[in-house]
């Protein structure tokens, strides 16, 4: 009996449960009154007919109404219910989406000029990466103690602390440092890399492009003046920069440009995302299309 009731209940939900509402389903009294009056007027001019009692036909008619409502709401989300302009709206176009992805963020007035650009991408913006020393996983070359190191990043300074116990190894401490950096949410992400059965901690910046520190770095790690025991930075190689941050290099309509990020706004009209460098001769067209 329970299974039968569940089947009936599920059928009721799938067929008669109210559909998801949007802000376009809200109406004021005047709109509802006008709709009701238009139905009455149409019925006055319509011929008489026999009422339909078939449940399948009734459900089919209700589905037509719901589908029409959903279609109207989808069109309303685009902001165009005028049938003269709905098919004249424009969106951003990129001739090579593997290299550059674009989206239109301007106004209708901006679209009237049909602005277009030719872009060539020499290189992408890169993040800074520090790769530590590769150490044997089961050994440990620093004494147990509470250590700390300072991170300079985005004009801010952070002190991170961790503890090394007598049961730790290089691998367990590297994993602890990885979690410490990732959980700190300061704009760095860390991972542990293996090479020939040895392991190193890899630290990378969230941001890309040349930074404000010495040698255009985005972050630096030191423990010269830290509050706890020092020596972990040198032992684990946390300050070893293996990839310096670089700006993206590109040309727009023949003019050389640089960008600290691979995402930027162009002419207040397009949001641009650089995905891959182009060939030396290729010019990616960024424009609008209907």
pLDDT of 1 higher than 60: no
Neighbouring residues of 245: CB distance < 8 A, sequence distance ≥ 6 = 125, 126, 127, 128, 205, 207, 208, 209, 210, 211, 216, 217, 218
Q: Is 186 exposed, middle or buried (0-12, 13-18, 19+ CB in 10 A)?
A: middle
pLDDT digits (tens, 9 = 90+) for 161-216: 999 999 999 999 999 999 999 999 999 999 999 999 999 999 999 999 999 999 99
* pLDDT of res. 87: 60
Q: C-alpha angle 86/88/89, rounded to 5°?
A: 75
pLDDT of residue 41: 78
Nearest to 221 by CA among 159, 163, 178: 159
State both tokens at 156. Answer: 């801010």
69: pLDDT confidence band, cut at 50, 70 and 90? confident
How many Cα atoms are found within 13 Å in the side-chain-facing hemisphere of 171? Answer: 10
Residue 2 in this model has a pLDDT that exceeds 80: no
CB–CB of 274/208 below 8 Å? no
Residue 286 has pLDDT above 80, yes or no: yes
The single-letter DSSP state of residue 184 is: H
Average pLDDT value for residue range 256-263: 94
Q: Are 191 and 202 in contact (CB under 8 A)?
A: yes
């Amino acid at each position: 009996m329970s299974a039968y009731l569940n089947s009936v209940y599920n059928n009721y939900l799938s067929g008669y449960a109210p559909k998801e509402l949007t802000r376009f389903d809200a109406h004021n009294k005047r709109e509802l009154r006008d709709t009701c009056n238009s139905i009455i007027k149409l019925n006055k001019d319509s011929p008489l007919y026999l009422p339909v009692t078939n449940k399948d036909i009734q459900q089919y008619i209700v589905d037509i109404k719901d589908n029409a409502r959903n279609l109207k709401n989808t069109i309303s989300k685009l902001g165009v219910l005028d049938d003269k302009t709905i098919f004249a709206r424009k969106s951003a176009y990129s001739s090579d989406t593997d290299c550059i992805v674009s989206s239109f963020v301007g106004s209708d007035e901006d679209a009237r000029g049909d602005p277009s650009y030719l872009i060539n991408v020499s290189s992408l913006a890169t993040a800074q990466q520090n790769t530590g020393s590769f150490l044997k996983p089961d050994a440990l070359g620093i004494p147990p103690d509470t250590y700390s190191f300072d991170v300079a990043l985005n004009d801010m300074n952070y002190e991170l602390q961790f503890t090394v116990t007598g049961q730790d190894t290089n691998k367990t401490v590297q994993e602890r440092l990885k979690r410490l950096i990732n959980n700190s949410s300061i704009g760095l992400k860390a991972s542990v890399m293996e090479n020939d059965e040895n392991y190193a901690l890899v630290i990378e910046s969230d941001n890309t492009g040349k930074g404000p520190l010495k040698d255009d770095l985005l972050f630096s790690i030191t423990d010269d003046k830290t509050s706890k025991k020092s020596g972990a930075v040198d032992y684990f190689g946390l300050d070893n920069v293996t990839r310096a941050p670089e700006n993206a290099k590109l040309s727009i309509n023949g003019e050389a440009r640089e960008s600290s990020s691979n995402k930027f706004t162009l002419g207040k009209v397009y949001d641009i995302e650089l995905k891959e460098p182009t060939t030396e001769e290729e010019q990616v067209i960024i424009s609008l299309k209907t």
